[in-house]
Amino acid sequence: MRLAVDLAHANRLKGGRPFGAVLAQGNEIIATGVNEIIASHDPSTHAEMQAIRAGTQKRANPSLAGLSIYASGHPCPMCLAALVMNGAEQVFFAFDNQDAAPYGLSSESSYQRLRLSLTPQPLPITRIDTGIHAAQLYGDEAWPAA
């Protein structure tokens, strides 16, 4: 989980949006991704989608069965749909939409417009506390020393 958050932070420092994701099989990292929509002009290049693209190409297999995603932010509907449709096992995330909302980074309104409910959850979605504060990743609070 911490790697996804570190990737998000590094991406922000490079001028990208502060999102990172790690596709994993158990404890093995299959692929990573960061949000590339600013550089690519492609709105589908969210961190989770980029990790999925890299991981499925590496494995030469479009299935996500048995794989989990660690996303710095709660997945948006597009990414969650890709995970559910292709059989991902579970989702872990560090920051939710309430954390992201003050910075304009929440996908809550998309869930609402699509009338998508996360109750019951379509797959296990679990928040993990990394010790990093939302204001450190999204705002002006200093990043903790390594």
* Positions in the binding site for Zn ion (CB under 5 A): 46, 76, 78-79
Least distance from Zn ion to the Cβ atom of residue 119, Å: 20
Q: Which is nearer to Zn ion, 79 or 132 (CB)?
A: 79
State in angstroms the smallest separation of the CB of 49 from Zn ion.
6
CB 53 within 8 A of CB 66: no
Q: Return the number of the residue (1 or 20) whose C-beta is nearest Zn ion.
A: 20
For residues 66 and 46, what is the distance between their CA atoms, to the nearest angstrom?
A: 21
Report the nearest approach of Zn ion to the CB of residue 2 (Å).
Answer: 20
Q: Which is nearer to Zn ion, 5 or 60 (CB)?
A: 5
18 by Cβ neighbours in 10 Å (0-12 / 13-18 / 19+) ranks as buried
Which of residues 6 and 36 has its CB atom nearest to Zn ion in the complex? 36
Distance of alpha carbon 105 from alpha carbon 131, whole angstroms: 20
* Shortest distance, position 79 Cβ to Zn ion, whole Å: 3
Least Cβ distance, residue 78 to Zn ion (angstroms):
5
Sign (positive or negative) of CA dihedral 104, 105, 110, 111: negative
What is the three-class DSSP state of 58? Answer: helix
Give the SS3 label for residue 129.
Answer: coil
Q: Which is nearer to Zn ion, 110 or 141 (CB)?
A: 110
